[in-house]
């Protein structure tokens, strides 16, 4: 019984260490992805909708 | 479900952008209170019309001066009223992005976010005005090139160099178009012996004010109170007089632009010569200012297509792409 518990604890620790290592390895990839998302969200195409919406409202207000 | 909001909490005007709708409010940042009871009597345009024309028991104030919060309690009440006016209640709790001057202190930062949360916001984030202005001015800030934006507001003037979605260099001075109005008020009092109010000073600035000589200049008739006799009096003001009166203020704005240019890395500095600098904010509308900055820096200066709305447009874009752009908020981990 004790041997089983020891084996389970050791396996658990190994899985935990492996998970930490994998998550650490993934971090730079996440950084690249989030930076890409950030830059894409600032592109002129992404901003067009907001600028057009306000520009159109302003133009229609002037026309009245 | 409440629609998320972006607020440009300016010294002169407050603009509110609603997600998916556009600009839903654009009014002066003024609140009128009953001096005895502390009750709010009016806000925005209605309160602005009361400035300098109120009986003793009413006071019409701007809770922000020089880009700083002069009265936390009144600012909180103004934010609460603003949110109520655009439909925020205790049942609809939107996310809010608020534009603030980059030179804001930690205490002021916390006061603004706390005020927005207490007023009904589910989450309140802050963004630096020059960053929001660059997004709203439609500059290619997603590219690795130098973009320079000069935001001249009522109480602050901020110049920023932006590249790849981040601020590279920043320079801010607590001087803006209200200081230009104050300089005109002081000049008229000193040289012509008449007292004028801040609204009259602003009207003079709009009518004949300029930072550099421009063609087709006219004189303006100004009415005020004679300091000696106390009677109403009219004087004629020339555009050169106003240029002289506001020169110190304009010079300090230009000096801050020069300091920001000096802080920029050389690789980006060469971009400015080709792409120029962009002027935003109400203060940028002063005639001859672009020309004066261009003359003193030898860098082309262009006016943003929507100078008054650029800051709230930028914050509005952040609220539309909240998840992707939350790294831009003040205090966010990048």
In chain A the first and final C-alpha atoms are separated, in Å, by 85
Range A39-62 average pLDDT: 84
In 3-state terms, what secondary structure has residue B73? helix
Whether B326 and chain A come into contact, CB under 8 Å, resolves to no
Whether B317 and chain A come into contact, CB under 8 Å, resolves to yes
Taken in order A36, A38, A41, A42, is the CA torsion positive or negative?
negative
Residues in A whose CB is inside 8 Å of some CB of B read 34, 37-44, 46-47, 49-51, 53-55, 57-58
Whether B142 and chain A come into contact, CB under 8 Å, resolves to yes
Across the interface, do B165 and A38 touch by the CB < 8 Å criterion? yes
* pLDDT at A26 > cutoff 80: no
Q: What integer pLDDT is reported at residue A54 of this predicted model?
A: 85
Q: What integer pLDDT is reported at residue B264 of this predicted model?
A: 92
Long-range CB pairs of B108-114 (<8 Å, 24+ gap) are B108/B68, B108/B69, B109/B330, B109/B331, B111/B69, B111/B72, B111/B75, B111/B76, B112/B9, B112/B69, B112/B75, B112/B79, B114/B76
Across the interface, do A40 and B142 touch by the CB < 8 Å criterion? yes
Residues of B in contact with A55 (CB under 8 A): 305-306
Structure tokens at B285: 């509308």
- Is residue B94 within 8 A of residue B82, CB to CB? The reply is no
Q: At what angle do helices B247-263 and B177-192 cross, to 10 degrees?
A: 150
Q: Which residue of B has its CA nearest to A52?
A: B22
Q: What integer pLDDT is reported at residue B104 of this predicted model?
A: 82
Across the interface, do B165 and A51 touch by the CB < 8 Å criterion? no
In chain B the first and final C-alpha atoms are separated, in Å, by 30
Q: Tell me the C-alpha distance between B150 and B134, whole Å.
A: 9
- ipTM of this complex: 0.77
Radius of gyration of chain A (CA): 26
Residues of A in contact with B320 (CB under 8 A): 49-50
What is the block-wise mean pLDDT of chain B (334 residues), using blocks of 10 residues?
86 92 92 90 89 86 79 84 83 89 85 86 92 92 93 94 92 94 96 93 94 88 94 95 97 97 91 93 94 95 92 94 88 61
pTM given for the model: 0.85
Residues of B in contact with A44 (CB under 8 A): 138, 140, 142
B contact test, residue of A31, A34, A40, A41 with most B CBs within 10 A: A41
Q: What integer pLDDT is reported at residue B119 of this predicted model?
A: 82
Q: What integer pLDDT is reported at residue A64 of this predicted model?
A: 47
Q: What is the DSSP string of B195-241?
A: E--HHHHHHHHHHH-BSS--SS---EEEEEEETTT-SEEEEEE-HHH
Q: What integer pLDDT is reported at residue B99 of this predicted model?
A: 93
Structure tokens at B256: 């801050």
Q: Is B230 left (phi over 0), alpha (psi -120 to 50) or beta?
A: left
- Is residue B48 within 8 A of residue B60, CB to CB? The reply is yes
């Amino acid at each position: 019984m004790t041997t089983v518990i020891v084996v389970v604890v050791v396996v658990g620790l190994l899985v935990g260490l492996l998970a930490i290592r994998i998550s650490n390895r993934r971090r730079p990839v996440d950084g690249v992805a989030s930076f890409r998302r950030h830059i894409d969200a600032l592109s002129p195409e992404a901003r067009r909708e907001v600028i057009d919406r306000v520009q159109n409202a302003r133009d229609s207000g002037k026309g009245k | 479900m409440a629609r998320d909001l972006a607020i440009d909490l300016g010294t002169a005007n407050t603009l509110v952008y609603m997600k998916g709708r556009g600009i839903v409010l654009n009014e002066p940042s003024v609140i009128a209170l009953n001096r005895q009871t502390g009750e709010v009597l009016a806000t925005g345009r209605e309160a602005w019309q009361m400035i300098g024309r109120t009986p003793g028991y009413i006071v019409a104030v701007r809770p922000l001066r020089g880009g700083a919060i002069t009265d936390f309690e009144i600012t909180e009440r103004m934010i609460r009223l603003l949110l109520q006016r655009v439909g925020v209640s205790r049942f609809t709790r939107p996310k809010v992005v608020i534009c603030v001057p980059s030179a804001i202190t930690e205490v002021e930062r916390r006061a603004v976010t706390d005020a927005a949360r207490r007023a009904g916001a589910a989450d309140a984030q802050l963004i630096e005005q020059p960053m929001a202005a660059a997004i709203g001015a439609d500059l290619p800030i997603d590219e690795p090139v130098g973009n320079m934006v000069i935001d001249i507001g009522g109480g602050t003037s901020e110049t920023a160099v932006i590249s790849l979605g981040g601020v590279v260099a920043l320079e801010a001075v607590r001087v803006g178009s209200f200081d230009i109005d104050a300089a005109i008020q002081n000049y008229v009092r000193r040289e012509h012996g008449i007292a004028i109010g801040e609204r009259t000073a602003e009207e003079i600035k709009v009518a004949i004010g300029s930072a550099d000589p421009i063609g087709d200049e006219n004189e303006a008739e100004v009415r005020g109170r004679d300091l000696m006799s106390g009677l109403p009096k009219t004087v004629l003001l020339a555009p050169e007089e106003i240029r002289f009166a506001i020169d110190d203020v304009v010079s300090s704005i230009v000096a801050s632009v020069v300091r920001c240019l000096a802080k920029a890395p050389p690789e980006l500095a060469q971009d400015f010569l080709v792409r120029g600098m962009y002027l935003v904010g109400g203060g940028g509308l002063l005639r001859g200012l672009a020309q004066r900055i261009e003359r003193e820096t030898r860098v082309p200066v262009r006016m943003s297509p929507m100078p008054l709305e650029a800051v709230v447009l930028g914050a509005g874009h952040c609220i539309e792409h909240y998840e992707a752009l939350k790294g831009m908020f003040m205090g966010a981990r990048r």
